[in-house]
Amino acid sequence: MNTAVNILSLGIPFSVALLIASLGEMFNQRSGVFNLGCEGIMAMGAFLGMLVPYSVGHGGPTSEIFNVLGLLLAMGVGALFGLLFALVVVTFRAPQGIAGIGLQMFGVGVAGTLFRHFIGGTQSVPGISKFPIPLLSKIPVLGPIFFSHNVLVYIAFLFVPLSWYILFRTPWGLRVRAAGTNPRAADSIGINVTRVRYQALAVGGALAGLAGAYLSLCQAKMFSDGIIAGRGFIAVALVYFGHWHPVKIMGGALLFSLAQSLQLAIQGQGIAFPYEFAVMLPYVLVIVVLAFSRESQLLGPTALGQPFNREKRI
Amino acid sequence: MKKTVTIMLCLVLACTTLFAAGSGEKAAVKKDSNVVKIALIIENTIDDKGWCQSMHDGITEAMKQLPGRIEYSYTEKMNLVDAGTAARQYVAQGYDIIIAHGAQYKNLTLEMAEEYPDVTFAFGTSSEKGPANVFTYMPESEETGYLSGLIAGMTTKSKILGLVGPVDAGDAARYNRGFVLGARAIDPSIRVMVAHSGSFSDFVKAGEIAQSQIKSGADVLTGSSQQALGALRAVADHPNADIWWVGQETAQISIPEGYKVIGASAYNYAAVIIGLVEKLDSGVKGGEVIPMNFHNGGFLFEFNPNLKDKWEGAIEAKVNEALASFRAKSGTIDYMSVDYSKL
């Protein structure tokens, strides 16, 4: 019983960075743009998220206000990176895949260079502490699993219904879906596809920045080169896995993280199982589920990856 | 306009990628026949508080011990492809010893050694004897692991220990098995939870492993390579709990999380570097495996002076006893006898 509770209670915070980044990528892809540069934006977010509390709180206690400023800075710069990406792929209509890889390298490179310049070597920060919800966290079994995490974990899961509401119940969400499904039709009824894609990429960038900051401020509580370690690409895969739907994406992020938590438990229990396979388990699981997803279920944005040129005739 | 902006972005990207890799030169001395030029190629950085820093510190320490004898340069964050370019540049600049610090550089080093027989190359960890111009080095880190295991075994109250490994290979595998043997020497009923992150540098995952082990009752943890820093950070997240860390890098004692580090070992690469210089002086350019152990001064150990109450007395005596034994004779720990599936 204890082992199961541990697996679940650890799997939830492990999923947060993936969840936030995937939701951001969902907005990108719903508008018709896939952003492989998510990893680079996360790296920038991770660095900037810890830069503020590190700089201000170096050598002394860091107050939560500086953590919040770090999160906001990460989101702001993430949004700017999203806009930069929009400039390249929406305005200049560069191939999205290549531009995304470029953004990934750019973000990781800039974050690493700034890190060496401003901080030097691996340093830690006090980070954001856990906030067990009064009363609820005391409930046996459920308390440790759901109500004993840091604030960002609760906020991340609140993003799921919020994203669903924005995407499916607001005029802006409708415009985003229209821009990603049939941009020409959207344009014909007066939707500014270019503007909508810029907005969606800014939102996606902000969320990717926040996801990176979660890693450096909540999970690792430090920054070093390579902190993202491929999580940005996993976030992109989870959007396909979750069929561009916030709830299913949450399911994918949880499945991946619980598998990660499970493989740690398998290793820790000394079960005679090669650790190399245990480490692979979450990735294999995602591939298997993706492979068995029926084509008809893939109700993705039909204009995904296609640049929109208003002047071009069909 | 589109073309101009695209070109500018490409230039920025190229510059960023280029300058993200660090390099530097230390204490260049006037080149004469007596000076040995050493170049270091590393995958991480010289201040990673782990694998790469220990070699960098070793070389700088050797420079202090052999004043005026060593000229030193390093290149950081080198993947396998870029490392070849860096190594060729060092060859062109007339470096005498090129150290590619990591077993992943083995094939590259062997190819380069064949291409440039007059240059000495070194890589590790490896216990394989290389060609006539290649040195390999192998830390026998079951000894440092054993010391950590003794401390952990005598400190634990839950009788559950956590071990956060990068991969089950090389010196990390030896350290981990030594740790198990050390802990079991204190109490055979102690349970050691072994888990590997699968990476030398993913400290987020190392932190996740440590959290998992702490939740499962582990109260003393250890780990090796730079990823271990993430696990130590997870331990430090329990400031008021009786949860401790034993390190494989003495630099961990002096960082903010050091208040959880009871003691730590370190690789003393200065001994290796001085040995390399001496061998070069005597005309030996390679073809040897340089072991690292307490017997030949390849390892260091220190307790955390701020945690005397944790180690003074029985633990200190036990560690000193083991240290004396290791210094007298190497190869006394049968680390191959450890089977994780029976822990």
Three-state SS annotation for chain A: CHHHHHHHHHHHHHHHHHHHHHHHHHHHHHCCCCCCCHHHHHHHHHHHHHHHHHHHHCCCCCCHHHHHHHHHHHHHHHHHHHHHHHHHHHHCCCCHHHHHHHHHHHHHHHHHHHHHHHCCCCEECCCCCECCCCCHHHCCCHHHHHCCCEHHHHHHHHHHHHHHHHHHHCHHHHHHHHHHHCHHHHHHCCCCHHHHHHHHHHHHHHHHHHHHHHHHHHHCCEECCCCCCCHHHHHHHHHHHCCCCHHHHHHHHHHHHHHHHHHHHHHHCCCCCCHHHHHHHHHHHHHHHHHHCCHHHCCCCCCCCCCCCCCCCC
| Strand runs labelled E in B18-171 | 23-26, 36-41, 70-75, 97-100, 120-124, 134-139, 160-165
Judge if B21-139+269-292 and B142-267+299-342 fold alike in CATH terms.
Answer: yes
Smallest Cα distance from A296 to chain B, Å: 36
Q: What is the mean pLDDT of chain B?
A: 88
Six-digit token pair at A311?
């002047």
Check pLDDT > 90 for residue B101.
yes
Question: Architecture of domain A2-297 in CATH?
Answer: Orthogonal Bundle (1.10)
Is B45's Cβ below 8 Å from some Cβ in A? yes
Q: Is the peptide bond before A181 cis (omega within 30 degrees of 0)?
A: no
Answer yes or no: do B229 and A224 touch at CB < 8 A: yes
**pTM of the full predicted structure?**
0.83
What does the pLDDT read at residue A3? 81
> What is the mean predicted confidence (pLDDT) over B296-318?
95
pLDDT of residue B150: 97
Task: Note the pLDDT of residue A274.
Answer: 81
The answer on pLDDT for B16 being more than 80 is no
Q: Does B82 touch chain A (CB under 8 A)?
A: no
Give the per-residue pLDDT at B5: 45
Q: pLDDT tens digits for B30-48?
A: 455 689 999 999 988 888 7
d(Cα B68, Cα A36) in Å, to the nearest integer? 50
CATH class of B21-139+269-292: alpha beta
Distance CA B94, CA B112 (A): 14
Q: CB–CB of A124 and B199 under 8 A?
A: no
Strands B97-100 and B134-139: unpaired
Judged by CB atoms closer than 8 Å, whether chains meet at A6 and B256 is answered as: no
B195 vs A227, A267, A276: nearest CB? A267
Task: Give φ, ψ of B320 to 5 degrees.
Answer: -65, -35
pLDDT tens sequence across B128-175: 898 999 999 999 999 999 999 999 999 999 999 999 999 998 899 999
Cα–Cα dist B3/A88, whole Å: 11
Alpha carbon A77 to its chain's center: 15
Tell me which amino acid residue A63 is.
S
- At residue B73, φ and ψ (nearest 5 deg) are -135, 155
Q: Which residues, in sequence order, are CB contacts of B323 under 8 Å at separation 6+?
A: B147, B294, B301
Pairwise CA distance, residues A17 & A213, whole Å:
9
If you average pLDDT over residues B76-86, what whole number do you get?
Answer: 88
Q: Which of residues 158-217 of B touch A (CB under 8 A)?
A: 162, 168, 193-199, 201-205, 207-209, 211-213, 215-216
User: Does the distance separating the beta carbons of A108 and B47 come in below 8 Å?
Assistant: no
Among B44, B196, B256, beta carbon nearest to A279: B196
CB of B161 closer than 8 Å to CB of B152: yes
Show the low-confidence residues of chain A (pLDDT under 70): 1, 57-62, 293-299, 313-314
Contacts of A273 (CB under 8 A, 6+ apart): A266, A267
Tokens of B252: 């961990």
Is the interface score ipTM higher than 0.90? Answer: no
**Which one is the CATH code of B142-267+299-342: 3.40.50.20, 3.90.550.10, 3.90.79.10, 3.40.50.2300?**
3.40.50.2300
- C-alpha closest to that of B216 among B234, B197, B198: B234
> Three-state SS for B223?
strand
Region of poorest pLDDT, from B185-189, B246-250, B339-343: B339-343
The answer, yes or no, to whether residue B22 has pLDDT greater than 70, is no
Half-sphere exposure (Cβ direction) of A73: Cα atoms closer than 13 Å: 17
Closest-CA residue of B relative to A276 is: B198
User: In B, which residues are within 8 Å of A277 by CB distance?
Assistant: none
Can you give the pLDDT at residue B249? 87
pLDDT value at residue A271:
75
B75, pLDDT greater than 50: yes
**Mean pLDDT over residues B189-200, rounded?**
92
Domain boundaries, chain B: 21-139+269-292, 142-267+299-342
What angle do helix axes A231-241 and A2-30 make, rounded to 10 degrees?
A: 80
